[in-house]
Amino acid sequence: MPSLILPPANRTACELASGAHLFGSGEAINADTRPLVAELEPVAHSLAHGRYQSPLRYPGAKSALAPIIGRVITAAKQSREVPEINLLVEPFAGGASASLRMIGDGTVERVLLADADPLVTAFWQTAADDTERLVDRMHDEWKRYVRDGGQKAVERWDYWRTWAPKPRMTPRNRRLATATQCLFLNRTTFSGILHGKAGPIGGRAQTSAYPIGCRWNPDALEDRLRYIGHLYNTGRLVDVWCKDWRQTLDDVPEYYPQLLPSRVVAYLDPPYVEKASHLYRASFDPLGGYGGDGLGAARPSDYTLHLSLANYLRSKAQFRWLLSYDNHPTLTESGWLYAPDQMTPSQSDRKVLGVRCWRISKRLVSTRYSAAGRVGKRPAEELLITTLPPATVPIDEDLRVLESVRT
């Protein structure tokens, strides 16, 4: 049995995310914070180096960017400041493609996934902690509804689209059903979009050459679900949190102080500045997502949510971070966003929380991006912004310096 490093304080069930438990997705997989497994065994699974590891086809997934992110993090580990990364935190996890890749190839030792959408986190929590029951549900949905396609499959799609958890279900069963809903809709909806106007693959009439089940390969899904269970059982996947990004970033130092400041890194992939309202239930867009973030009438009518993230990362973050964004000019031009070249914490945050004045580096990366609603892939540019040691952040044809930016 591997030994455990206990966290300083255990959280209680009263801290479950408000509303999240209705979906069966508690704030963490169990009521208490999960301690870190100290003696990790090598990741022994055939998918560890696989091309596709995530069971979700996520809009805006960073599978194409993941190798570049891996390079930046590996380069940082050559420095004295960040010799090893014991924990990678992904507060906007979505399909978690970057984390899964980096845990599989050994770039980082452990990952912690978090997202504000309880549908998505119920999926990851169940895949991690209740793997076999989710594998069974996946096969069952396939055999009974999806495999033969046609109207029966579309009716099942309608069922899951409107399904809501019943109050009398046990938390565990509610979470399993929500995870099944997430997986079903993700594999059978156009572009993997979980909400809004996106319809079933192949259309309601199912006359297309691509029927509703064309993205549902039960054997491959079984393998990927078991891989998530394996990562959780071996302590490589530390936990799955259903939290707003800020809560995640605030809680990591409290739960895992032994990793501060240099043995934990956050990889953040927030909703894009443009188009995100069409893709996610929880989005930063003034138009809103599809309601999963519970902001309701409190949703700001401008880009305040992007500004709050930037403000936090520039002045409050207690560990190093790497951020990917769409290459929107405002992001690197505005002093309120990421134009500054250095973090500027207040005197008191420096003193009390130990927040550092790390340098901020920016790079431009070209990828092939497939946006929801578009057929095929088109060239796109992503911004990478990071407080990893600047001398280690590569500059080459894959990671270009922005013309207007010096670092």
Ligand X SMILES: C[S@@+](CC[C@H](N)C(=O)[O-])C[C@H]1O[C@@H](n2cnc3c(N)ncnc32)[C@H](O)[C@@H]1O
- Taking residues 235 to 254 in sequence order and writing x for each that binds ligand X by CB under 6 A, - otherwise, the string is ---------xx---------
Q: Is 27 in the site for ligand X (CB under 6 A)?
A: no
Phi/psi region, residue 314 (left: phi>0; alpha: psi -120 to 50; beta: rest), is: alpha
The dihedral formed by the CA atoms of 41, 90, 57 and 302, expressed in degrees to the nearest 10: 180
Strand pairing report for 264-268 and 237-242 = unpaired
Q: Confirm or reject binding of residue 385 to ligand X (CB under 6 A).
A: no
Q: How far is the CB of 257 from ligand X (least distance, A)?
A: 22
Selected from 21, 34, 45, 62, the binder of ligand X by CB under 6 A is 62
Stretch that binds ligand X, among 7-15, 195-203, 276-284, 342-350 (CB under 6 A): 276-284
Name 334's Cβ contacts closer than 8 Å, sequence gap at least 6.
none
- Residue 185 interacting with ligand X (CB under 6 A): no
What is the nearest approach in angstroms of ligand X to the Cβ of residue 188?
Answer: 18
Nearer to ligand X, 60 or 345 (CB): 60
Question: What's the CA gap between 124 and 17, in Å, rounded?
Answer: 16
The smaller minimum CB distance to ligand X, of residues 123 and 232, is found at: 123
Binding-site member from 108, 282, 337, 399 for ligand X (CB under 6 A):
282
| Single residue of 60, 200, 213, 288 touching ligand X by CB under 6 A | 60
362 φ, ψ to 5°?
-130, 140
Residue 42 burial (C-beta neighbours within 10 Å; 0-12, 13-18, 19+):
exposed
Instruction: Return the range that interacts with ligand X (CB under 6 A); candidates 75-83, 92-100, 127-135, 374-382.
Output: 92-100
Stretch that binds ligand X, among 4-12, 90-98, 133-141, 249-257 (CB under 6 A): 90-98
Residue 120, CA distances (Å) to 55, 92, 176, 203 in order: 12, 10, 12, 24
Q: Which of 278, 33, 242, 16 is nearest to 119 (CA)?
A: 242
Member of 117, 129, 130, 382 binding ligand X (CB under 6 A): 117
E strand or H helix that includes residue 89:
strand 87-90
Nearest distance in Å: CB 341, ligand X: 25
- Which of 130, 239, 285, 293 is the binder for ligand X (CB under 6 A)? 293
Nearer to ligand X, 367 or 392 (CB): 367
- Closest CB to ligand X among residues 171, 294: 294
Q: Is 382 in the site for ligand X (CB under 6 A)?
A: no
Phi-psi region of 388 (alpha: psi -120 to 50; beta: other; left: phi over 0): beta
Smallest gap from Cβ 248 to ligand X, in A, equals 7
Shortest Å distance, C-beta 164 to ligand X:
18
Distance CA 226, CA 229 (A): 5
Burial bucket for residue 317 (CB in 10 Å: 0-12, 13-18, 19+): buried
Q: Pick out residues in 339-378 that bind ligand X (CB under 6 A).
A: none
- How many DSSP H helices and E strands does the chain contain? 11, 9
Of the two residues 131 and 283, which places its CB atom closer to ligand X in the complex? 283
Q: What's the one-letter identity of residue 128? A: A
| Listed ranges 109-117, 199-207, 327-335, 395-403: which one lies at the site for ligand X (CB under 6 A) | 109-117
Nearer to ligand X, 201 or 323 (CB): 323
Sign of CA dihedral 229, 103, 245, 95: negative
Least separation in angstroms between CB 185 and ligand X: 14
Please identify which residue in 48, 55, 58, 361 interacts with ligand X, judged by CB under 6 A.
58
Beta strands in 244-328 (DSSP E): 264-268, 320-326
Lookup: tokens for 371: 């946006």
55 binds ligand X (CB under 6 A): no
The residues with which 267 forms a beta bridge, in sequence order, are 322
Any contact of residue 92 with ligand X (CB under 6 A)?
yes
Task: Establish if 122 lies at the interface with ligand X (CB under 6 A).
Answer: no
| Binding positions for ligand X, rule: CB under 6 A | 58, 60-62, 91-92, 94-95, 97-98, 115-117, 120, 244-245, 269, 271, 280, 282-283, 293
